[in-house]
């Protein structure tokens, strides 16, 4: 399901993420969009283009809760000002996903596409 937030940004409803660089300092954010090549995310943390980090993505499939990890690289960045807070919108490309987690990404994309058809 897609949740519309102010500023005409569509955010995937209830899809939080957690990310960290090699320093293992964990941060949080929200997924704006996802496809088979990468993600668009919102985060309050200012990061450099070219930075690489791991992301854990959490989502529900009906009564079940699931998640997976991907290795990503920042390929684009925009300042995003919303009412009451400032964040950055990052475009991330997938540069690594385990064989075990690949079907979970496919599952998330399939469910998201089905929900968009019926929204």
Instruction: Check if the beta carbon of residue 77 is closer than 8 Å to that of residue 89.
Output: yes
pLDDT in tens, 2-49: 332 333 333 445 455 666 555 556 677 788 888 889 999 888 888 899
pLDDT in tens, 60-82: 767 777 788 899 999 999 998 87
The CA radius of gyration of the chain, in Å to the nearest whole number, is 14
Ordered domains of the chain (ranges, CATH): 2-104 (2.40.10.220)
* Closest of 11, 85, 10, 75 to residue 47, by C-alpha: 75
**Residue 50's pLDDT is what?**
94
**Residue 30's pLDDT is what?**
81
């Amino acid at each position: 399901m897609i949740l519309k937030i102010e500023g005409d940004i569509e955010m995937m409803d209830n899809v939080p993420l957690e990310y960290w660089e090699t320093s293992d300092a964990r941060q949080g954010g929200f997924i704006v969009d996802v496809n088979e090549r990468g993600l668009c995310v919102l985060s309050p943390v200012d990061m450099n283009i070219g930075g690489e980090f791991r992301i854990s993505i959490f989502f529900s499939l009906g009564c079940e809760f699931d998640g997976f990890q991907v290795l990503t690289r920042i390929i684009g960045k925009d300042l995003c000002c919303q009412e009451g807070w400032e964040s950055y919108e990052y475009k991330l490309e997938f540069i690594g996903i385990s064989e075990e987690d690949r079907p979970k990404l496919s599952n998330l994309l399939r469910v998201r596409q089905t929900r968009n058809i019926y929204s």
